């Protein structure tokens, strides 16, 4: 009965992963892959002159827009380009936030956006940087290595049983996959049009919350030597891989919609996709072994 329950749990988790696959594109969009996609260069804010306490301007969505967070006591009026009528430039009330695509950020070289904070003139100054084009082959090779290494550990866990050190290592790898996905979501949510908040993080995570819950449960079950441990870890890995496989496009793009170093985002993709696939293969091996064990027990019962 325990073996059958484990099989049912694994199959249910893998079915859930397949059902979540169509949502992967929306999660990639939450990650900041906007339409149009970020270009090869990235605008950055250098200074706000003069500095105003409570006022911050941030480049978001991979350089496609600016976001102004107004924590001052006055409204902030983003002035349009000289000689032009008001376009997307917002007026941000005290305590509010707004994001807009400012035409002055386009092109190479420095740029400036004038503001009125109440009746005080302020200028946001910036320039553009040219991140290096990534080399995709090492990143794809790292995914293959992560998948193979994780499966090797998982195969040992299946062979030696749930009381082995290899099984505990699978639990650790599952926590690593979930942690990488959490970093991936946090870095992505930090450059959305809305300021970072629990709501934006949960929205960016989307179905990934299922992965987080299954990963925590799978690690706990595996460490407590439960039969359901490896199949649950496999389900978490499968979901993580399905949700982030679209972000492998970042191996070919110099600019990503991510708050920290772009290679950190690429590394989280390697871990979630590569190790996630390895966990999935571990679950398949565990199910096959459990099924063979159950058939052997049934055969012995028949011969008695």
The pLDDT confidence band at residue 29, using thresholds 50, 70 and 90, is very low
In this structure, are 173 and 263 located in the same domain? yes
**pLDDT of amino acid 14:** 53
Range of the domain at 57: 42-129
User: What's the pLDDT tens digit per position in 267-303?
Assistant: 999 999 999 999 999 998 888 776 444 443 344 444 5
pLDDT tens, position by position, 243-272: 999 999 999 999 999 999 999 999 999 999
Please determine, for residue 164, whether its predicted confidence score (pLDDT) is greater than 50.
Answer: yes
Quick one: 150 and 242 in the same domain?
A: yes
Q: How confident is the model at residue 85 (pLDDT cuts 50, 70, 90)?
A: confident
Whether residue 73 is found in the same domain as residue 193? no
- Mean pLDDT (the chain) is 87
pLDDT at 304 over 70: no
Rounded Cα distance between 129 and 151, Å, is 40
Residues 6 and 79 in one domain: no
Q: Is the pLDDT of residue 33 over 50?
A: no
Q: For residue 26, is pLDDT > 80?
A: no
CATH of the domain at 100: 2.60.40
Longest dimension (CA), the chain: 95
Look at residue 19 and tell me whether its pLDDT is greater than 60.
Answer: no
Whether 15 and 138 share a structural domain: yes
> What tokens were used for 128?
């553009």
Read off the pLDDT of each residue in 44-53 and give the average, rounded to a whole number.
96
Torsion, Cα of 240, 245, 249, 254 (10° steps): 20
pLDDT at 97: 97
- Tell me the pLDDT tens digit for each residue of 127-157: 999 999 999 999 999 999 999 999 999 999 9
Residues 14-43: what's their mean pLDDT?
58
pLDDT (0 to 100) of residue 34: 41
Q: Which of 70, 94, 129 is the last residue of a domain?
A: 129
By mean pLDDT, which of 6-20, 58-72, 215-229 is the weakest?
6-20
* Residues near 12 by beta carbon (within 8 Å), at least 6 away in sequence: 235
Residues 74, 157 within the same domain:
no
Rounded Cα distance between 78 and 122, Å, is 10
Examine the domain organization and report whether 71 and 112 are in the same domain.
Answer: yes
- Select from 81, 104, 129 the last residue of a domain: 129
> Sign of torsion, CA 64 41 241 173?
negative
Q: Is there a single domain that holds both residue 178 and residue 284? A: yes
Considering the entire predicted model, what is its pTM? Answer: 0.85
Last residue of a domain, one of 129, 148, 170: 129
The pLDDT-based confidence of 4 (bands split at 50, 70, 90) is: low
Give the whole-angstrom CA distance, residue 250 versus residue 256.
7
Say yes or no: 102 and 6 in one domain.
Answer: no
94/174 same-domain check: no
**pLDDT above 80: residue 51:** yes
Q: Whole-angstrom Cα distance, residue 192 to residue 300? A: 60
Domain count, the chain: 2
What's the whole-number mean pLDDT along residues 107-134?
95
Confidence (pLDDT) at 108 = 83
**262 and 214 inside one domain:** yes
């Amino acid at each position: 009965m325990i073996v059958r329950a484990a099989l049912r749990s694994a199959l249910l988790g893998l079915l859930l992963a397949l059902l979540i696959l169509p949502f992967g594109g929306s999660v990639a969009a939450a990650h900041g892959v906007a339409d149009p996609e970020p270009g090869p260069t990235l605008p950055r804010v250098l200074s706000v002159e003069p500095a105003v306490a409570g006022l911050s301007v941030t480049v978001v969505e991979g350089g496609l827009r600016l976001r102004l967070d107004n924590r001052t006591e006055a409204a902030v009026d983003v002035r349009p380009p000289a000689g032009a009528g008001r376009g997307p430039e917002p007026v941000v009330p005290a305590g509010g936030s707004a994001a807009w695509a400012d035409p002055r950020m386009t092109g190479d070289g420095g740029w400036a956006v004038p503001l009125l904070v109440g009746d005080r003139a302020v200028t946001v100054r910036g320039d553009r940087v040219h991140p290096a084009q990534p080399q995709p082959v090492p990143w794809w090779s790292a995914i293959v290595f992560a998948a193979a290494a994780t499966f090797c550990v998982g195969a040992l866990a299946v062979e030696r049983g749930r009381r082995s050190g290899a099984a505990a290592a699978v639990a650790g790898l599952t926590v690593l996959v979930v942690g990488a996905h959490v970093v991936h979501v946090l870095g992505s949510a930090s450059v959305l049009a809305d300021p970072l908040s629990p709501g934006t993080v949960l929205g960016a995570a989307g179905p990934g919350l299922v992965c987080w819950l299954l990963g925590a449960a799978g690690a706990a079950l595996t460490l407590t030597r439960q039969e359901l441990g490896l199949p649950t870890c496999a389900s978490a890995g499968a979901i993580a891989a399905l949700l982030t496989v679209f972000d492998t496009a970042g191996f070919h793009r110099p600019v990503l919609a991510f708050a920290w170093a772009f290679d950190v985002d690429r590394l989280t993709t390697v871990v979630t996709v590569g190790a996630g696939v390895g966990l999935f293969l571990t679950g398949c091996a565990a199910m096959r072994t459990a099924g063979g064990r159950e058939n052997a027990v049934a055969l012995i019962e028949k011969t008695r």
